[in-house]
């Protein structure tokens, strides 16, 4: 378990960074776990027919991998007490190369009285932010 000294933290301090490689297999596994079998997540022909640039990762999958940076930093996913994002751009998952999503977490706010920290997450795919206002509140 990670022990974090609240007094040593500063707003703007980076708490972690990680790359997540999503593949078409990742999408199939997520669809099975979530029950979201929308064909835009696995059929190129269907995605093209509805005007998409390709098969898209599930938004909730992208959201789920992003919060992992905050959970890893605090050492216990149960300490993430609030989490929200705005979906801004899709993650297109190439059939052979997949997609790499890079997530960086920085401290956005410290509430010493509550023993909580807001971790602001920057979530990038192809040099573009794909989640906006991605913020996880963790209890230390």
Q: What pLDDT, on the 0 to 100 scale, is given for residue 2?
A: 58
pLDDT digits (tens, 9 = 90+) for 30-85: 999 999 999 999 999 999 999 999 999 999 999 999 999 999 999 999 999 999 99
Inside any domain, residue 31: no
Mean of pLDDT values over 87-104? 98
Q: Band the pLDDT of 1: cuts 50, 70, 90.
A: very low
Inside any domain, residue 44: no
Inside any domain, residue 30: no
Residues sharing a CB contact under 8 Å with residue 34, sequence separation 6 or more, in sequence order: 58, 60, 61
Residues sharing a CB contact under 8 Å with residue 19, sequence separation 6 or more, in sequence order: 100, 101, 102, 103
Inside any domain, residue 1: no
pLDDT digits (tens, 9 = 90+) for 107-128: 999 999 999 999 999 999 999 9
Q: What pLDDT, on the 0 to 100 scale, is given for residue 36?
A: 97
Inside any domain, residue 48: no
Q: Band the pLDDT of 3: cuts 50, 70, 90.
A: confident
pTM of the shown model: 0.94
Buried residues in 106-120 as b, exposed as e (16+ CB within 10 A): bbbebeeeeebbbbb
- Number of domain units in the chain: 1
Closest CA to 70 of 117, 100, 105: 105
Alpha-carbon gap, residue 47 to 28, rounded angstroms: 15
Inside any domain, residue 4: no
Element (H, E) at 76: none
The answer to whether the CB of 111 falls within 8 A of the CB of 95 is no
Give me the CATH number covering residue 114: 3.10.129.10
- Give the rounded distance of the alpha carbon of 48 from its chain centre: 25
Inside any domain, residue 47: no
12 CB burial (10 A radius; 0-12, 13-18, 19+): exposed
Alpha-carbon gap, residue 62 to 136, rounded angstroms: 14
Domain span at residue 89 reads 9-22+58-139
Inside any domain, residue 2: no
Q: What pLDDT, on the 0 to 100 scale, is given for residue 24?
A: 97
């Amino acid at each position: 378990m990670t022990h974090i000294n609240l007094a040593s933290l500063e707003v703007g301090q980076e708490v972690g960074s990680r790359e997540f490689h999503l593949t078409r297999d990742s999408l199939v596994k997520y669809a099975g776990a979530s029950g979201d079998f929308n064909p835009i997540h696995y059929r190129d022909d269907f995605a093209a027919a509805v005007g998409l640039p390709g098969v898209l990762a599930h938004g909730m999958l992208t959201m789920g991998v992003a919060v992992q940076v905050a959970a890893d930093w605090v050492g216990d996913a149960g300490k993430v007490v609030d989490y929200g994002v705005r979906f801004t751009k899709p993650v297109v998952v190439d059939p052979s190369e997949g997609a790499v999503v890079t997530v960086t977490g920085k401290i956005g706010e410290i509430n010493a009285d509550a023993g909580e920290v807001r971790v602001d997450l920057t979530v990038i795919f192809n040099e573009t932010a794909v989640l906006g206002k991605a913020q996880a509140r963790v209890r230390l």
